Amino acid sequence: MYTYYRHRLTIPCGHAHLKAELTIPARSGSIIIFSPEEGGITFGNRNRLVAHHLHKLGFGTLFPQLLTLEESKRYGRRFDLDLQTARLMTVTEYLREHDRLSRYTLAYFGTGISSAAVLQSAAYLPEYISAVVCRHARPDFVPNALSRITAPTLLIAAAQDRYTLRLNREALEDMTCERELIVIEGATQLFEGSAMTDVAELTGSWFSAHLQQTAVAHP
């Protein structure tokens, strides 16, 4: 039986106010910040599956919207990685400066194009981020950030998605931090069926190995 504390947050970000969903198991000492999937506002069932697995391991999660509802309706905004990176950094700094949340160790989980914002934010905030996991990552959007990442980084790719797999292999060569690429055999870019279970387990193992899980009092 697990006890979770769930909170709805509103995070000020310039003229915008970003909604975020925080879930913290009672014994947690870390918060994994998820970057939304395409569009900067939604979180699909695949990411929810990963989060559920992390909760069982004792990790907290934060699901922030990086765009307002109105912004998400504008096609160009949905792929504005500089804006989403700036918003993700603001969310990260909010947690670090929050009276009751500042003691938690922070990490990132990103998917697809939004993983570029995760990688870029990790490069800009090395003192805040202790580990990174990206599924189906697109590091080619932020090539200049890769060598600046210091947090241990796991890239998870699908064997059948040869284009993205190649991009991930090239990114690994450009990175200087502790890093690893794990390829899920038989998986396509949609990570259907048991592939997402594999992603969740790999993600949990990476964070368990690289994050301190000293429990803190719940916020």
The answer to whether residue 40 scores a pLDDT higher than 70 is no
Fold that domain 4-210 belongs to in CATH = Rossmann fold (3.40.50)
Domain residue spans of the chain:
4-210
The answer to whether residue 3 scores a pLDDT higher than 90 is no
> pLDDT per residue over 147-168, tens digit each?
999 999 999 999 999 999 999 9
Residue 2: pLDDT band (50, 70, 90) is low
Q: What is the pLDDT of residue 130?
A: 97
If one counts every other C-beta atom within 10 angstroms of the C-beta of residue 163, the result is 9
What does pLDDT average to over the chain? 91
User: pTM for the complete prediction?
Assistant: 0.94
The answer to whether residue 1 scores a pLDDT higher than 60 is no
SS (H, E, C) the chain: CCCEEEEEEEEEECCEEEEEEEEEECCCCEEEEECCCCCCCCCCHHHHHHHHHHHHHCCEEEEECCCCHHHHCCHHHHCCHHHHHHHHHHHHHHHHHCCCCCCCEEEEEEECCHHHHHHHHHHHCCCCEEEEEEECCCHHHCHHHHHHCCCCEEEEEECCCHHHHHHHHHHHHHCCCCEEEEEECCCCCCCCCHHHHHHHHHHHHHHHHHCCCCCCCCC
Q: What is the pLDDT of residue 152?
A: 98
> pLDDT per residue over 43-84, tens digit each?
788 999 999 999 999 999 999 999 888 887 776 666 789 999
Residue 108: pLDDT band (50, 70, 90) is very high
Q: What is the pLDDT of residue 164?
A: 97
